[in-house]
Amino acid sequence: MDAPIKDDRTELVGLSRQELAEEMTKLGEKPFRAKQLWHWIYHQGKTDFAEMTTLSKDVRAKLPETHKVTRPGIATEQTSEDGTRKWLFNFADGKEVETVYIPETDRGAVCVSSQVGCTLACTFCHTGTQPMVRNLTAGEIVGQFMAARDSYDEWPTPQDGGRMLSNIVMMGMGEPLFNYENVAKALTIIMDGEGISISKRRITLSTSGIVPEIERCGDELGVNLAISLHAVRDDLRDVIVPINKKWPISELLDACRRYPTSSNARRITFEYVMLKGINDTDADAYELVNLLRGIPAKINLIPFNPWPGAPYECSSNNRIRKFADIVNDAGYSSPVRTPRGRDIMAACGQLKSATERVRKFSDQPATS
């Protein structure tokens, strides 16, 4: 692969409104130019200053010398037979992440990554087996969504209701609450009504349970919360979601009880991956409803998605159905997440693996 060309100009994507205003001041421009730029970058989706026609000719001419508006590079783009699309994006330092778009009839969610790899090592997750490389910047997080919108030509920002890319789930690679500052900055940009304008009700952040940051996330962002629970006993969760040793189930659920959106209209989602013979008995299901009592919750049962060398199998359909029935009968909605994009390794927990595999066996044809 060609080495990226060195470019020291300041990237504007990912700056807060205030930082953008400061950049304009440095150039000797009035702060209101920042408002105009914001509109061109985040509402119109433009990357070429020459097209930002409300800026004075002078500003349009001098901005490209010192500043840029870019997107992550697209290493690969694949579309699944079910319509799911996956991008492998690369950044200036050559690091890569995956982003997935999951379309539904008249809407769809973009699954965004927060880190290159993950420092946590949940035993069923492929991302967790890869060495952590680094946190993504706010610009790299927003950039994934903007590049996805480019791909569907969804600029300028359409009215709410007329969007294919209507929702965001922070469920890609990485633990978003271990990169809280950048994730918060990115989501604040994404929620801004004069730009990308996705409301906090359409954003869901998934965490394996970083308790202190859950509180900040609720107070400062107010987005929907999803918790990767996956086990109902500490002895098992300590093994499969090892961060549990630091913040055990009871502390995690206390943080959920305090989460400001935990009202009936905006339930907390509990993700529960179905692992054959590990966490899928009737007793587990009863204990789950017992634990969640008092928390407005929705339980998302995720069939385990296999990856090369994974030490688990997915529970049988019958087992998943029986588990779901118990949870349902207790009054909780418990949709079973239909795996999407498995043919392109885009399903939950599979991210990055196909790319790694192709690299490892690059002398063999990539048959996946």
Catalytic residues: 98, 348
Task: Tell me the closest approach of the beta carbon of residue 125 to ligand SF4, in angstroms.
Answer: 3
The least distance separating ligand SAH from the CB of residue 302, rounded to whole angstroms, comes to: 4
Q: Which is nearer to ligand SAH, 285 or 302 (CB)?
A: 302
Nearest-angstrom CA–CA distance, 319 and 303? 11
Supply the minimum distance, in Å, between the C-beta of residue 48 and ligand SAH: 34
Provide the minimum distance between the beta carbon of 322 and ligand SAH in the complex, in angstroms, as a whole number.
19
What residues make contact with ligand SF4 under the rule CB under 6 A? Answer: 118, 120-122, 125, 127-128, 174-175, 208, 228
With CB cut-offs between 5 and 8 Å by kind, which of ligand SF4, ligand SAH, none does residue 348 bind?
Answer: ligand SAH
Cα R_g (the chain), whole angstroms: 21
DSSP per-residue codes, 204-263:
EEEES--HHHHHHIIIII--EEEEE---SSHHHHHHHSGGGGTS-HHHHHHHHHH-TT-B
**Stretches 3-11, 213-221, 299-307, 352-360: which one binds ligand SAH (CB under 6 A)?**
299-307
Nearest residue to ligand SF4 by CB is 128
Beta strands at 85-90 and 73-79: parallel, antiparallel or unpaired: antiparallel
Contact call for residue 213 and ligand SAH (CB under 6 A): no
Min dist. Cβ of residue 174 to ligand SF4 (A): 6
Question: Which residue in 171, 170, 243, 168 sits closest to 211, CA to CA?
Answer: 243
Q: What angle do CA 327, 329, 333 make, to 5 degrees?
A: 55
Query: Residue 295's binding partner, choosing from ligand SF4, ligand SAH, none, with beta-carbon cut-off 5 to 8 A by kind?
Result: none
Query: Which CB sits closer to ligand SF4, 84 or 207?
Result: 207
Distances (CA, A) of 252 to 215, 240, 245, 300, 301: 11, 16, 11, 17, 19
Contact between 349 and ligand SAH per CB under 6 A: yes
Interaction between residue 315 and ligand SAH (CB under 6 A) = no
User: Is residue 59 classed as helix, strand or coil in its secondary structure?
Assistant: helix
Please compute, for residue 182, the number of CA atoms within 13 A of its CA located in the half-sphere on the CB side: 22
* Selected binder of ligand SAH within 69, 110, 125, 225 (CB under 6 A): 125
Minimum Å gap between C-beta 230 and ligand SF4 is 8
Stretch binding ligand SAH (CB under 6 A), from 22-30, 70-78, 121-129, 138-146: 121-129
User: Strand pairing of 167-170 and 203-207?
Assistant: parallel
Laid out side by side, the sheet with 167-170 consists of 73-79, 85-90, 96-103, 108-111, 167-170, 203-207, 224-228, 268-274, 297-303
Q: Which of 197, 193, 194 has its CA nearest to residue 37?
A: 194
Choose between 175 and 284: whose C-beta lies nearer to ligand SF4: 175
Burial tier of 281 (Cβ tally within 10 Å: 0-12, 13-18, 19+): middle
The strand pairing partners of 67, in sequence order, are 10
Binding of ligand SAH at residue 20 (CB under 6 A)? no
Q: Give the binding range for ligand SAH (CB under 6 A) out of 158-166, 205-213, 261-269, 355-363.
A: 205-213
Rule CB under 6 A: choose which of 208, 244, 334, 353 binds ligand SAH. 208
225 lines the binding site for ligand SAH (CB under 6 A): no
Residue 99 lies near ligand SAH (rule: CB under 6 A)? no
Question: From the CB of residue 349, how many other CB atoms can be counted at a distance below 10 Å?
Answer: 20
Q: How far is the CB of 229 from ligand SAH (least distance, A)?
A: 9
User: In terms of Cα–Cα distance, which of 245, 89, 105 is closest to 172?
Assistant: 89
Rounded Cα distance, 263 and 247, in Å? 23
Contact code string over 28-67 relative to ligand SAH, x by CB under 6 A: ----------------------------------------
CA distance 49 to 291: 54
Which stretches of the chain bind ligand SAH, using CB under 6 A? 122, 124-125, 171, 175, 206-208, 228, 271, 273, 302, 304-305, 348-349
